[in-house]
Structures are given as C-alpha cells and as structure tokens.
Chains A and B, each alone.
Chain A
Amino acid sequence: MRVSSVRASLSSRLKPILPNQPLKFSNISSAPTPVKLQTPLFLNPADYRATLSDLKKWHLWARGLASSVGTKFLDLDNGPDSALLHRELNWLIEDSLQDPIALLSDNSDDSLVVPLRACLDDLYMLWKQRIEGRRPFQYLVGCEHWRDLVLSVQEGVLIPRPETELIVDFVSDVTKENEVLREGLWADLGTGSGALAVGIGRILGSCGGVIATDLSPVSVAVASYNVQRYSLQDRVAIKQGSWFEPLKDDEGKFAGIVSNPPYIPSEDIGRLQAEVGRHEPKLALDGGADGMDDLLHICNGAASMLRPGGFFALETNGEKQSNFLVDSIGSQSEGRFCDVKVASDFAGIKRFVTGYRAG
C-alpha cells in the first residue's frame, strides 16, 4: 500500500522533468543555457589513423615526460608521481586505441596503420596538458571510473572521488533489509556528474527513484547524460536548482538523502593540489569560512524533507567537521534524528555522517 503510493507520487514527480526527446549534445532541454557536452574519449568512433611507428614515437615521448616528473608534484602539493602518471598513460592508450595490445607488445610491424579515437596531434596536446598544465586525467579522457560505472565528466563538473563510492555501499546496506527505503524516493543534493544518483538508482527496488539537484547547468547536463547512458531515465531525474529548492513539492516524503556538498574551508582553496585548484569548479569545493555552510544547511533541511525513518549520509572534510555535525544535530535538532554515526573512509579518515530521521 505504502509502496504503491510512493510509486504513484514518484512517477508524477519524475515525469515533468524527464526530457521528452533523446538528449542532444548541444541542446539540453532542462538546462537554461546550452551546454556543450564532451563525449568521453573511449566512446568516440576510431576515425583517426596513425602508423604504429608514429604512435610509438608519441608513446616514448609521453613516457619521457611522465618520468621527468619524478616526485616533483608529490612534494609540491601531493600531486601525482611518475609511477601514477605512467599508469594514467596506459589508461589514455586504453581509451584512445581500439587495440591497445598493438602498441604495448613489441613484436608488431611498425608500418601497421592503427585506428585511433583521437588524432595523434591531440594525443600530444592532451598529454602536454596533463603534465605541464596539471589538467586532471579524467578531464583528458572525459570520464572517471567510479564503482562499477564509467561516468562522463568534463570541466565544470567535480570529478567524483573514490571516497564517495562508500556512500552507495551505505545505501546498499540500509536498503537491503528495509523495503520502505528500498522502494522509496531518494534525493542526491549537488549531484555533480550524477555519480551518487546513478549508483543509488541502480540498487533501489523497482518502485524506488532518485531526484538529484545541482545549481550548475553543466552538472545538470552531464548528470542527465550519465543517467541516460545507464538507462535510468525512469528512476533518476536531474533538476537544476540549489539544494532542496527543486524538491519543495516532496517535502517530508524522502526515504533518503545523500550529499557530497562543498566542504573545503575557503582559506584552504588557494592551497589546493593543482589538478583541483586550477581545474575543478570552486562551486563544488568551497564550503565557506569553516567549510560547514552547506553541510549545516543540508542537515537543517533534511529534518523536514525526510519521512520518519528516512536515512541520510553526508560526506565531510574529516573528523573535525564530522564531529561538529554530530554535535550540532544532537543539540539543535532536539531528537529529530536518531542513530547518528560517523563512518571512516578506507584511509581511516572520519569522512561520513549517517543517521535516520526519528520515527
């Protein structure tokens, strides 16, 4: 009974915002300004050609460049070292060649013509951007492997972090035994690439659904594209707007809320690793003076947005923010939440706060 009513409300919520026609790369119906979507490199047709000997030349050059870095970036700002860059180079090859084995095995014929997904000049340019411009690898290839997903990303969208994968595990754990949560409506606030929305959309039951919001039109476009790539249009909707704003109609109905909001204190923004500080959107990183602005806003809103028994999971900057959040929930929300816990990421940092809306 309960479940079917959720389903009814969900489909009516999802309907108006689902694009009626297939998404066009340059024309997203839900975005007010046209956003040019970048196709991930590995999805491009292999329309370019190069001889194996030219490709090997490029490979040698690129390896030399990667080796020259040593631990320079690591010492400077905790950036990538040579070993990591070499691995990224292999992945770049993996994404841009139809048959990567040809390049990596040494007994192939050099005059062989190899099909490529980007022209050789672009490969030179991309790798130069990576090393000299510290452009994140994920923007280079236009995708990030996250959990068992390959998500499209591009400049203007935060690259989903490995730590955040665990939020999907939390949701998977709590929905396994709880049908109301499994078949309910979830919200992903500040979805970015849509990583959490897609990840959660794939583990919910047949009646469950996710509404994801983001202020950035680029994020809305990229997240919508990722939702389409995984054929989740029926259960994941992307809406443009700030935090809970696009969700007002469903106040009190959410079975779960997840978010990885900006949480870096403003004063740290200038000292970030070059890949992050120079290339990723500030909007997704800067959490105000102590980095808590958005986390506190979401906590406050969650109390009224969640249904009784609803679950929330938030990512934070670490122990200090997590503890602060738990304390403030305890003192200000006066019993509106229960079972509030701090959970660690795989590096042992107290990264997450989870809990339930009191029933």
Chain B
Amino acid sequence: MISLILKRSAFLEQNHLFKPQFCFQLLSSLTQSQSYNSSPSSQNHSVLPSGYGYLGKKNSGCSSSSLQRLEIPPGILCNGRFYGSQSQTAIEPSTSDGLTVDGIIANNWTILDEDESDWKSHASAIAQSIHLIKKRLKWKNLLVRVRMLSFQLDKPDLWDDPIQASKISREHGLLTGKMNEVKKFEQELLEHIDMIKLSHEENDPELELEAVKALIQMRRSVKEKELEALLVEEHDSCSCFIEVQAGAGGTESMDWASMVMQMYKKWAQRRGYRVTVVDEMPGEIAGIKRATIRVDGENAFGYAKAEDGAHRLVRCSPFDSANRRHTSFAAVAVIPILGEGLSHYHIKESDLRIERFRSGGAGGQHANTTDSAVRITHIPTGITATCQNERSQHSNKASAMAVLQSRLDKLEMARQAQMNAQHTQSLAENTFGNQIRSYVLHPYRMVKDHRTNYKVSNADSVLEGDIDDFILSYLSASLDKDEDEL
C-alpha cells in the first residue's frame, strides 16, 4: 500500500515538475545528450564540468519558481496521499478508456513473435520491457534521487562550490534524461493503443495497420533499451584499466594469465574500444606475471566490471612434460578511470616516491636505452603503479600516475562503500578466492560462470574474446535478482 502511494506521489510530482516546464525539459535533455553521449569514441570527461555548470545554472534558474512551489522535504513522501488521492487518474498516464501500463502487464496478454500482428501481444511485450527497464533503473530510488538533486540545484548557495555544483547538475541531467525517456515510452505506448482502438472503431484498416507497425517498431527499440539500462551505476560510462595477475603455479599459470589478457584485448577491439598496454611483466619462459591494459571507450567499465574476480583454467599443460592435467588461476581487476575533477582521492606530491623501474649501471650519457620505465609508490598506502610501454620517461610517469590515481580512487570508493552496506556486495574483494568463471579445456570443453551458471561449450570462441553473453547475463542477473517492486 505504502509503495503504491509512494509511486503515485512520485508520479504526481514528476508531472508537476516537468510537464509544464518546457525550458526545463529542454535543458535537461540538452544536459542529457552531452553526458550520455552514445557515440563510443567521443567521451570526454574532462571537458564536462564547465559545460554542465553553465547548463545547471540556467537550469536551476528558470525552473526555480516551480521548484519552490513544490518544495517538499524528502520525508514528506509518506504523506503523498494528499496529492495522490486528489488527482490520481489525471496523473497516471492512461489510454482514453483508462488502460495504464501497469494495467497492460496485469492483463497478462500472451506475448507472441514480432511477426504476429496481434497488437495486444506487442503492447504486452513493450509493457514488460518498460517494467524491466524501470526495475534496472531502480525506478523508485531514481525518482527520489532526482527530486533530491532538484532541491540541491535550487539552493541559492549552490555555486559557492562550482565543482560540487557541476557534479550535481550533471547527475541531475543524466537521471532526468533516463527518467523522461521511460515516461516517453509509456506515453508513446498508450498513444499507439489509443490510435489502434480508434482506427478500429472508425473502421480504418489502413490507419490501424500503421499504428500496429509503429508498435512493432517501438517493441524493438524498447528491447534495445533494456540492455542499455544495465549500465546504471555511477562510473559505468567510464573508460577503465583491466589488470591480470597470474596465480601460483609457474609457467602454466603465467601462460593462462596471458590468454586471459588476450581475451580482453580481443573483446575490447571487437567492441571498438581503444586498447593500450600500460604495464607488462613477462614470465621467464612464457606468458605474463601480470599486465595492465587501458581500455578507452563509452561504457568500457560498465561492461568490463563484470569480469572482476578469479578465472580458473583446467587443461593438460603444454609446459608439463608428462602432459598432466593442471588447474591454474588468473586474477582480474577492473578499475574505472574517473574523469578529471571526479577523483575521489587527492594525491599529495610529497607522498610519492618515483623511481626508474629497471635501473642499472651509470646511466646518463653512459647508457643509451629506450627503456624509461617508472615506478611510482604512494608511500602512505604502499600502492604502486608501473608503466614501461611509453616511449619517454615523462609519458611513462604520466601513465603510471593515471593507474595510481585509479587504484587509489578504487580503494577510496571501497572504503566509502564499506560505510554504506548497500554497496559492499557489488564491490566484492578481488582475491583468488573470489572465483567467478571456469574454463575447462580437458577432458571436455566448457566455460561456465559460477555467478550466473551461464555456460557455453565453445571455449575457443570465448578465449577469442566472445564474452559479451557472459557479461550481459551477469549484469542482468545482478540487477534483476531483486524481486522488489521497481
């Protein structure tokens, strides 16, 4: 009951807030299109804050009157009955004969294939998709969050802290964009149904066919949105580092580590991401002891984060003269690269120790080497970062600093998450104990994810980078497992 009221009041408020506010809507969609840029290569976090600042300022400025009118502290949600009971039908979008999106779901119409022309089947499929998207977006939380951000945007002292302000306005733009998109879908669905019913009554088969077609089209686009809605966490859109470390077991496990790294390089290339090797420590005979790559592109972290954990290989080792069966592990860590100004951890220059990584001999004019690898140690935490693949010491240092910054950010996020129990689950400790997937090459061939039980028998294609299905099944499983209402 309470949840129903909550939902209604939230709806009510959203409508009041946004519907009549054209300029507000326009601005938030502007903000949204910048921050949620769908082109994979054009993501640039570092330029965002100032742009958002401007939009945010305008944003809060022109909507302030309506926000003030609706200034309700978050706690008042429970008293939303007042609004909800008054104009319930006017608020929840529905068709002319009172059918709502929830109503469509409740009708339980059979969902048939796309090529069937039964409109109820399409409507039902779309309603299900919208429901799933809302669930993945944690709809209820989203509405509350948007409302909270709106209040903060409206505070007169907002711009005393421009960094914080642009952060707020950016998040607000992003979330309202997502919210409005879903609402647009609901509206669109009901409009199509209205049109179908109307044309049916008017006996206009041509128009009816048009409307059904539009519904089919919508069914497809909403289905695509389902996947996009998997990436809803704060840093999902970021680029990332992927680190692979060989477990115990010598050459066999070092070879496995390099196979895992190869898998990610190929996966990233397939997705159109840019891959740069930052750090690589080769094994004595074969493979790698550890390696770090940088993966640049939209949503790289959102997808790759599903790979965080230990990966287990079972095969007959080519490095074992007796060709016995071996089990080896490789640990994978995925770290988001937060944009400038978004870092959680401030590094003090005086806390750093910078060293040539492999230095020997007199150096200087005595030595001509293209090796300018640098290791940076953050003394207070003992965390280190190395880069050796750049062609100048300066670039190696800059690259290692980026790795160090991201590692410290991750540490800081984990620390903050520990204080917030809700998030600890998603940031599971990356140890060899956290085994997420097995790759069996002998005596049978199978790759199985232990978190989702998703498995395929074509192990070779997985090792060639075909891991999208594993990633998507994990992301949807972790988002959709909560049976809670939206």
Contacts and interface: CB of A to CB of B under 8 A. Distances in A.
Interface of A: 78, 80, 83-84, 87-88, 91, 105, 136-138, 144-149, 158-159, 161-163, 165, 260, 262-264, 268, 272-273, 275-276, 280, 284-285, 315-318, 345-349, 351
B194 interface: no
Task: Report which residue of B282, B354, B365, B374 has the largest number of chain A beta carbons within 10 angstroms of its beta carbon.
Answer: B365
A145 B393 CA distance: 9
Nearest to B368: A275
Contacts, number: 101
A347 B392 contact: no
B264 to A, nearest CB: 14
Nearest to B464: A107
A346 B369 contact: no
Given A145-B391, A165-B394, A345 B370 contact: no
B485 to A, nearest CB: 47
Secondary structure at chain B's binding surface: helix, strand, loop or mixed? loop
A284 to B, nearest CB: 8
B174 to A, nearest CB: 33
Contacts of B390: 145
A280 B368 CA distance: 9
Interface string B355-376: 1100111111111111110100
Nearest to A161: B364
Given A315-B364, A347-B355, A80 B394 contact: no
Contacts of B473: none
Given A161-B363, A162-B392, 16 more contacts: A78-B367, A83-B282, A84-B370, A84-B371, A91-B370, A136-B368, A145-B392, A146-B392, A148-B394, A263-B365, A276-B365, A276-B366, A276-B368, A318-B364, A346-B356, A347-B359
A351 to B, nearest CB: 6
B353 to A, nearest CB: 10
Nearest to A163: B364
A147 B393 CA distance: 6
30 contacts: A78-B361, A84-B369, A87-B370, A138-B370, A145-B390, A145-B391, A146-B394, A147-B392, A148-B392, A148-B394, A149-B392, A158-B365, A161-B363, A161-B364, A161-B368, A162-B372, A162-B392, A165-B393, A262-B365, A264-B366, A273-B367, A276-B367, A316-B364, A317-B362, A346-B374, A347-B359, A348-B359, A349-B363, A349-B364, A351-B363
A86 to B, nearest CB: 9
Interface in B358-412: 359-372, 374, 388-395
Contacts of B372: 162
A275 B366 CA distance: 10
B66 interface: no
A318 B360 CA distance: 13
B365 A318 contact: no
Interface string B331-361: 0000000000000000000000011100111
Given A91-B391, A146-B394, A317 B364 contact: yes
A88 B372 CA distance: 12
Most buried by B among A105, A158, A346: A346
A137 B370 contact: yes
Contacts of B361: 78, 273
B393 A162 contact: yes
A213 to B, nearest CB: 18
B368 A159 contact: yes
B394 A318 contact: no
Contacts of A165: 392-394
Interface residues of B, number: 28
Nearest to B357: A346
A69 to B, nearest CB: 14
Closest 3 CB pairs of A and B: A145-B391, A347-B359, A162-B393
Nearest to B372: A162
Given A317-B362, A318-B362, A346 B393 contact: yes
B269 interface: yes
A338 B123 CA distance: 83
Contacts of A158: 365
Contacts of A260: 365
Nearest to A274: B368
B290 to A, nearest CB: 14
B461 to A, nearest CB: 13
A148 B362 contact: no
Contacts of A318: 362-364
Interface string B252-290: 000000000000000001000000000000100000000
B364 A80 contact: no
Contacts of B364: 161, 163, 263, 315-318, 345, 349, 351
A162 B387 CA distance: 14
Residue of B269, B354, B367 with highest tally of chain A CB at under 10 A: B367
Contacts of B282: 83
Contacts of B370: 80, 84, 87-88, 91, 137-138
Nearest to B364: A163
B391 A80 contact: no
A78 B363 CA distance: 10
A64 to B, nearest CB: 16
Contacts of A83: 282
B365 A78 contact: no
B391 A161 contact: no
Contacts of B356: 162, 345-347
A88 B367 CA distance: 16
Contacts of A285: 365
A334 B363 CA distance: 32
B389 A87 contact: yes
Nearest to A105: B269
Contacts of B368: 136, 138, 159, 161, 273, 275-276, 280
Contacts of B355: 346-348
Contacts of A163: 363-364
A349 B356 CA distance: 10
Nearest to A291: B365
B25 to A, nearest CB: 43
A273 B371 CA distance: 15
B129 to A, nearest CB: 35
B444 to A, nearest CB: 27
Contacts of B362: 317-318, 349
Contacts of A87: 370-371, 388-389
Interface string B96-116: 000000000000000000000
Nearest to B361: A78
Contacts of B354: 346
A87 B366 CA distance: 21
B360 A78 contact: yes
Contacts of B369: 80, 84
A263 B269 CA distance: 48
